Amino acid sequence: MLWASIFLTVFLLSGCARKNSAPIAPADKDKLVSAELTVYAYDSLTAEWGLIPAFLSDFEKTSGLKVKMVKFTDTGAMLSQLILEKDQPKADVVMGLDNLNYAQIANKNILEPYRPVLADKISSDLWFDKNFTLTPFDYGYIGFVYDSRKIKFAGPISLKDLVDSKYKDKIIIEQAGLSSPGTQLLVWSKSALSAVDYDKFWLGMKDNVLTVAPDWSTAYYSLFLQGEAPIVLSYLTSPAYHIDQEKANNYQAVPIKEGYFRQVEGVAVIKGATNSNGAKKFIDYVLSQSVQDKIATTQWMWPVMPSSSLPVAFGQIITPTSSQILYMDSAILSANLDQWLKKYNSVFGL
Amino acid sequence: MFDLIMGILSNLNWPVIFARLWFGSWESLATVFLSLLIGGGLALWQNFARVKKIIWFDIIMIMPIFLPPIVVGLGLISIWGNNGLVNQGLNFLGLTPIKFLYNGFSVVLAHCYYNIPLVYLAISLKLSNLHPAFEDSAMVMGASRLKILTAVIWPRLRSAVLAVSALVFLYSFTSFALPLVLGGIKHQTLEVYIYRLFTGQLNFASAISLAIGQTAFLFGLVILFLKKMNYFNESYVNPIQLGIGKKNIKLLLSQIALAIFLLAPLSGLIIMGGRGSGFEANFLFLIRSGFLPAFGRSLALAGLSFIFSILIAGFFLFGRRRRAFWPVLWLSVSPVCFGLIWRWLIGQSLLSAFLAFVLISWPFNFFLLSSYYHSRPSFFYDSLKIMGANNWQMIKATVNYLAPALLKIFCLHLVFVLGDVAISGLVTPYGQPTVMLLNYSLIGSYRFGACALGMSLVLAMILILLLAINLFATQAREMKKFLLFHFRAEE
């Protein structure tokens, strides 16, 4: 009897939590500009000192919209929710999906293309596609950050040099398939190295990594900054934080000869959103100068708008030139990522 | 239907599943064994030595049980890591550092950190309700300590040992974060694989199938285990409860050593609290981040969810049939699956967080309450009836009897809710985080020093609250005794 009551309560509550199930006619959607806007984003975007809190109240005042923010522990959980809700989406906007997520979600018909007002100001090599299914708002580069007090790099090295035995137990990486930087490293090595070198790289990394952490926070904060190992997989912009906030120059990025893989993050309208007009306003606002100027010191990534202001510390870190940026076509990613992950898991004995 | 099931099963990576099952089983069994040996052993020693309980030690033992994995992980790394205190000491002595962590044994170490105190509390709670008369009689008749342990104490302690062993096994087997942080990629539980299926491969059917399979496996295992349980009714008058006890220096030193093992990792957090801008700047940053409202929110959630959780535990405790069935089934459910489906169905709100805390905590509260309740004297209710007590007076008497257990359970619940990150991360709404979630979220903004300071402050506040609660309870008992004595004297 009790369990019947509990299930009934859960069922009723789920009904209360859901939006109206009846689809809204397109003509009526225009009337919803002054209504609520539901935004999905991952944790660090919505955290107390993250990007979204920095501009949300201004956006609400400017647009007249009331924003309901739903946060997720990571983009994987966010993707799962979007897929589960595909037929009756609760969200209007999703923010924080990156190029790898785009490859997973592109053919699932979940996002609605929208070309923002300032689209032409964004460099075309940052675009996910010509239809702006996902609109880029910031980008960064995966890299290895090291503590120069404990290890030295005389000059640029090759990615495959990291498997040298002198780096044994000196590297911390994140797990591919569970963590975005970890998966980005998989794709980085695939695009930077030949097939033979790629296999050798991962066999060598298996011996050299001190541990494979589940996420960036654990790798960077719990392990690297505790001094467990002198090299960690992070972003090229991580040293900028230490220079800017801690006045510390000892954290630097390892210069890699083959170049760097770029992670681009985007914001998109959800197909079937109740308030798609409000969602489009949100996307346009994210590309505005006031928001783009905040990205560098909240996300510690590069804003997509070229005229945005950057802290002085960004001038003291590695900024890849166009010839140093590595690419991977999203169709190739989409077709092969699962296979690469399986092989990666088998290398690590999973 | 059959094709659908076969399709789902063929999508699962069976070598990985068996590897995770194997790892989960052996590390859980090792955790149970070590926790019983150290935690249970200490409780037994304390009982044998007839040593009076020390409040500060009990409070320290309560603290680790529900600390968030990041705190425990950071703490263990600061002591046992490659750059930890132990290895720094070895370096200082000119010895080769040892890689203690990032293997299967460090997962066992981390689980023992949580579960040694849990076993100690459960066993000492049970022992405090065993009348020493049987042991004294056996000793007078010439029985050795071992004989007393096996023939006199063990039959009466067995149910508590089996129940807490089942709990420790379940918690270790379904553990998620610590194996990831300290065990590296190879030493992960099945929960992690379920999570990867959900969020990494977006394969919901396989994830749910595996979660159901895991639940059935754990449930079956634990039910077989618990069939060995039976309950003994005992007199609850134990000298140690009355504050009478001897002193034992060796036991005291062991308690201090265990307290150091539990507290030392947490001290690493305090040192990190000054990182970056310094203590003062980090503290002001925390206040501006909404630390105090978040703490108040967590306290309110803890208090309210405790009341409802205890009501549910009480419903099953005083129900007629199948007491342990539903709590054990509930504990066997995959936490990852539960969290993701709960969030999908119920969404994010303070009400959702409140309900989630109630539903997750009640089985644990049930087992603790049940252990204490079933140690009541067999003549408890008969005596009340003979004295003409009505239903309300019987309820009052039961609550009075259970009061010490309820206080301990409340302390554990407080630590659980205040220290939680996992549930809060899933279900609390934007802009209304719980206190530990607020601290944890600072990492993503690179505010490492403020994060560490925030966690240290929460732990300090938990300690102060636990001390205050226990002192208040002691004062209240003394006041009650005084008032009863005073009024009776006047009569």
Instruction: List all residues of chain B from 11 to 30 with a beta carbon under 8 Å from chain A.
Output: 16, 19
Residues of B in contact with A225 (CB under 8 A): 448
- Cα B179 from Cα B175, distance rounded (Å): 7
Which two tokens mark B478?
Answer: 């003394």
Judge whether B232 and B412 are in contact, CB under 8 Å.
Answer: no
The answer to the question of residue A148 being in a domain is: yes
Of all residues in chain B, the percent with pLDDT exceeding 70 is: 84
Residues A56 and A114 in one domain: yes
Which residue in the set A69, A79, A245 is minimally distant from B430, CB to CB?
A69
Residue A17: inside a domain, yes or no? no
Q: Write out chain B residues lying below 8 Å of A81, CB-based.
A: 343-344
Residues A85, A61: one domain? Answer: yes
CA distance linking residue A79 with residue A144, whole number of Å: 27
Q: Are strands A135-147 and A231-235 parallel, antiparallel or unpaired?
A: antiparallel
Nearest CB neighbour to A221, from listed B102, B184, B443: B443
Note the pLDDT of residue B486: 56
B 90-119 residues inside an 8 A Cβ radius of A: 99, 101-102
Interface contacts (A, B; CB < 8 Å): 155
Q: How far is B50 from chain A (nearest CA, A)?
A: 42
Reduced to 3 states (helix: H, G, I; strand: E, B; else coil), residue A173 is: strand
Are residues A255 and A269 both part of a single domain? no
Judge: B70–A222 Cβ closer than 8 Å, yes or no: yes
Could you give the CA distance from residue A52 to residue A248 in angstroms, rounded to a whole number? Answer: 27
Dihedral sign computed on CA atoms, order B382, B384, B387, B391? negative
Nearest residue of B to residue A38, measured between CA atoms = B430
Q: Inform me whether the pLDDT recorded for A28 exceeds 60.
A: no
Distance of CA B353 to the CA centre of its chain: 19
Start-to-end CA span in chain A (Å)? 43
Q: In angstroms, rounded to a whole number, what is the distance separating the alpha carbons of residues B466 and B462?
A: 6
- Written as six digits, the tokens of B164 are 């807490």
Q: Is the pLDDT of residue A30 over 60?
A: no
Residue A14: inside a domain, yes or no?
Answer: no
Q: Which residues of A touch B446 (CB under 8 A)?
A: 241, 245, 300
CA distance A99 to A140: 11
Q: Which residues of A touch B81 (CB under 8 A)?
A: 223, 226-228
User: Smallest Cβ distance to B348: which of A70, A213, A222?
Assistant: A70
pLDDT of residue A2: 44
Contact residues, chain A, for B326 at CB < 8 Å: 3
Same domain, A159 and A220: yes
How many distinct helices (H) and strands (E) make up chain A?
Answer: 13, 12
- Rounded to the nearest angstrom, the minimum Cα separation between A128 and chain B is 21
Evaluate whether residue A199 is within a structural domain. Answer: yes
B201, B445, B448 ranked by CB distance to A50: nearest: B445
Three-state DSSP at A235 gives: strand
**Cβ separation B181–A71 shorter than 8 A:** no
B314 touches chain A (CB under 8 A): no
Amino acid, res. B29: L
Radius of gyration of the CA atoms of chain B, in A: 24
Contact at CB, A245 and B202, closer than 8 angstroms: no
Q: Which residue of A has its CA nearest to B327?
A: A3
Q: Is B243 left (phi over 0), alpha (psi -120 to 50) or beta?
A: left
Say how many C-beta atoms besides its own lie within 10 A of residue B352's C-beta.
21
Residue of A104, A222, A348 best to disrupt the B interface, most CBs of B under 10 A: A222
Low-confidence ranges of chain B (pLDDT < 50): 232-236, 242, 491
d(CA B366, CA B356): 16
Query: Residue A228's domain spans which residues?
Result: 140-262+323-348
- Strand runs labelled E in A113-154: 135-147
> Do the chains contact at A211 and B343, CB–CB below 8 Å?
no
- Please state, in angstroms and rounded to a whole number, the distance separating the CA atoms of residues A289 and A308: 7
Q: Which of A44, A81, A83 sits opposite B444 (nearest CB)?
A: A44
User: If you average pLDDT over residues A51-57, what whole number do you get?
Assistant: 94
Please provide the DSSP assignment of B134-174 as one string: HHHHHHHTT--HHHIIIIIIHHHHHHHHHHHHHHHHHHHHT
User: In the structure encoding, which two tokens stand for residue B268, read together?
Assistant: 């690493």
Cβ separation of A345 and B201 shorter than 8 Å?
Answer: no
Kindly state whether residues A341 and A232 are assigned to the same domain.
yes
Answer yes or no: do B181 and A338 touch at CB < 8 A. no
CB–CB contact A70 B447 (8 Å):
no
Candidates B79, B185, B329, partner chain A, best to mutate (most A CBs within 10 A):
B185
Q: Is residue A7 part of a domain?
A: no
The bridge status of strand A209-213 relative to strand A171-174 is: parallel
At residue B369, what is the residue type? Answer: L
Q: Is the pLDDT of residue A8 over 80?
A: no
A144 and A202 fall within a common domain: yes
Q: Are B365 and B310 in contact (CB under 8 A)?
A: yes
By Cβ distance, the residue of A2, A85, A227 closest to B315 is: A2
A150-177 pLDDT per residue, tens: 999 989 999 999 999 999 999 999 988 8
Residue A207 confidence (pLDDT) above 50: yes
The CA distance from A120 to the nearest CA of chain B, in Å, is 30
Please report residues of B whose CB lies closer than 8 A to that of A210: 82, 102
Contact (CB<8Å) B433/A48: yes
Quick one: closest CA in A to B450, which residue?
A49
A234 shares its domain with A270 = no
Nearest residue on chain A to B316, judged by CA atoms? A2
Judge whether B413 and B236 are in contact, CB under 8 Å. no
Asked, for residue A1, whether it belongs to a domain, the answer is: no
- Clarify whether residues A191 and A215 are in a common domain: yes
pLDDT score at B171? 84
Q: Which residues of B213-236 are buried (b: 16+ CB within 10 A; e: fewer)?
A: bbbebbbebbeeebeeeebbebbb
Q: Is B404 on the interface with A (CB under 8 A)?
A: no
Task: In whole angstroms, give the CA distance from residue A197 to residue B227.
Answer: 57
Q: Do A227 and B82 touch (CB under 8 A)?
A: yes
- Regarding whether A173 and A64 lie in a shared domain, the answer is no
| Residue B239 buriedness (CB in 10 A; 0-12 / 13-18 / 19+) | middle
Closest Cα in chain B, distance from residue A125 (Å): 26
Q: Do A350 and B19 touch (CB under 8 A)?
A: yes
- Is B430 an interface residue toward A (CB < 8 Å)? yes
Quote the ipTM score.
Answer: 0.75
On whether any CB of chain A is under 8 Å from the CB of B427, the answer is no
Answer left, alpha or beta for residue A64, where phi above 0 means left and psi between -120 and 50 means alpha: left
Same domain, A106 and A246: no
Chain B window 293-312: which residues touch A at a Cβ cutoff of 8 Å?
none
Residue A85, both tokens: 């809700």
Relative to beta strand A302-303, strand A135-147 is antiparallel
Q: What is the DSSP string of B293-309?
A: HHHHHHHHHHHHHHHHH
Maximal CA-CA distance, chain B: 82
Tell me the C-alpha to C-alpha distance, in Å, between residue B211 and each of A111, B19, B204. Answer: 30, 16, 10
- Determine, for residues B346 and A49 on separate chains, whether the beta-carbon distance falls below 8 Å: no
By CA distance, what is A172's nearest residue in B? B184
Q: Do B196 and A178 touch (CB under 8 A)?
A: yes
3-state secondary structure A107-118: HHCCEECCCCCC
Contact yes or no for A178 and B74 at CB 8 A: no
Q: What is the pLDDT of residue A39?
A: 96
> DSSP assignment, residue A256?
B
- Whether A209 and A72 map to the same domain: the answer is no
CATH number at residue A187: 3.40.190.10
Question: Which chain B residue has the Cα nearest residue A344?
Answer: B185
**Closest to B445 (Cβ–Cβ): which among A175, A298, A348?**
A298
Neighbours of A175 (CB within 10 A): 28
Say whether pLDDT at A328 is over 80. Answer: yes
Query: Of all residues in chain A, what percent carry a pLDDT higher than 90?
Result: 62
DSSP assignment of A90-113:
--SEEEEEEHHHHHHHGGG--EE-
Q: Are B193 and B133 in contact (CB under 8 A)?
A: no
Give yes or no: residues A102 and A240 share one domain: no
Angle B179-B181-B184 (CA atoms, 0-180°, nearest 5)? Answer: 70
pLDDT of res. B444: 67
Number of independent structural domains in chain A: 2
- The label of the residue with tokens 């006619």 reads A25
**Cβ B430 vs Cβ B382: under 8 Å:** no
Alpha-carbon dihedral angle through residues B468, B473, B476, B481, given to the nearest 10 degrees: -140
Chain B residues with CB under 8 Å of A48 CB are: 289-290, 433, 438, 441-442, 445
Question: Is residue A87 in a domain?
Answer: yes
Does the beta-carbon distance from B346 to A13 stay under 8 Å? yes
Q: Give residues 115 to 174 of B whose Cβ lies within 8 Å of A.
A: none
Angstroms from A262 CA to nearest CA on chain B: 19
Condensed to tens digits (0 to 9), the pLDDT of residues B304-337 reads 999 999 999 888 888 755 566 677 777 777 777 7
Tens of pLDDT, residues B38-70 = 999 998 888 877 777 777 787 788 778 767 777
Structural domain contains residue A328: yes
pLDDT for res A4: 44
Burial category of B3 from C-beta neighbours within 10 Å (exposed 0-12, middle 13-18, buried 19 and up): exposed
List phi, psi (to 5°) of B155.
-60, -30
Residue A12: list chain B partners with CB under 8 A: none
**Distance in angstroms (rounded) separating the CA atoms of residues A118 and A180:** 28
Average pLDDT over residues A275-280: 95
CA B461 to chain centre: 18
Q: Do B201 and A177 touch (CB under 8 A)?
A: yes
Structure tokens at A315: 């001038």
Query: What pLDDT digit, counting tens, does each position of B130-180 carry?
Result: 777 777 888 888 888 888 888 888 887 887 888 888 888 988 888 877 787
Q: How many Å separate Cα A97 from the centre of its chain?
A: 6
